[in-house]
Amino acid sequence: MKRDLIMGLPLDTPKEFITEFKDANIYNSSCSHEARVYFIDTGNGFYLKSAEKGSLEREAQMTDYFFGKGLSPRMLSYISRDRDWILTERVKGEDCTDFEYLSNPKRLAKLMGERLRALHSMDCGDCPIQDRVSEYISLAERNYSTGNYDKSSFPDSFGYKSAEEAYKVLSEGKHLLKNDALIHGDYCLPNMILDNWRFSSFIDVGNGGKGDRHIDLFWGSWTLWFNLKTSEYKNTFLDAYGRDAINEDILKIIAAAEVFG
Question: Which residues does 135 contact at the CB level (< 8 Å), separation at least 6?
Answer: none
> What's residue 160's pLDDT?
84
Nearest to 91 by CA among 66, 116, 74, 78: 74
Q: Round the average pLDDT of the chain to a whole number and report it.
A: 94
CATH class, 94-258 region: alpha beta
Least confident segment among 32-46, 97-111, 129-143:
32-46
Report, as residue numbers or ranges, the catalytic residues.
186
Q: pLDDT tens digits for 1-28?
A: 667 888 899 999 999 999 999 999 999 9
pTM attached to this predicted model: 0.94
Residue scoring higher pLDDT (30 or 154)? 30
Sheet holding 192-195, edge to edge: 94-95, 192-195, 198-202
- CATH 3.30.200.20 is held by the domain 4-89: yes
Rounded distance between C-alpha atoms, residue 19 and residue 17, angstroms = 5
Tally Cβ neighbours within 10 Å of residue 250. 19
**What number is the average pLDDT over the span 159-175?**
92
Rounded distance between C-alpha atoms, residue 7 and residue 11, angstroms = 11
Specify whether the CB–CB gap between 253 and 173 falls below 8 A: yes
Specify whether the CB–CB gap between 51 and 34 falls below 8 A: yes
Q: What is the CA radius of gyration of the chain?
A: 19
Strand partners, 84: 51, 80
> What's residue 204's pLDDT?
96
Q: How would DSSP label each residue in 224-237?
A: HHHHHTSSTTHHHH
Q: Where are the domains of the chain?
A: 4-89, 94-258
Rounded distance between C-alpha atoms, residue 180 and residue 88, angstroms = 29
Specify whether the CB–CB gap between 115 and 245 falls below 8 A: no
> What's residue 261's pLDDT?
78
Residue type (1 letter), 133 = V
Nearest to 78 by CA among 62, 92, 96, 93: 62
Predicted confidence band of residue 161 (pLDDT cuts 50, 70, 90)? confident
Nearest to 60 by CA among 180, 182, 213, 203: 203
Q: pLDDT tens digits for 249-261?
A: 999 999 999 999 7
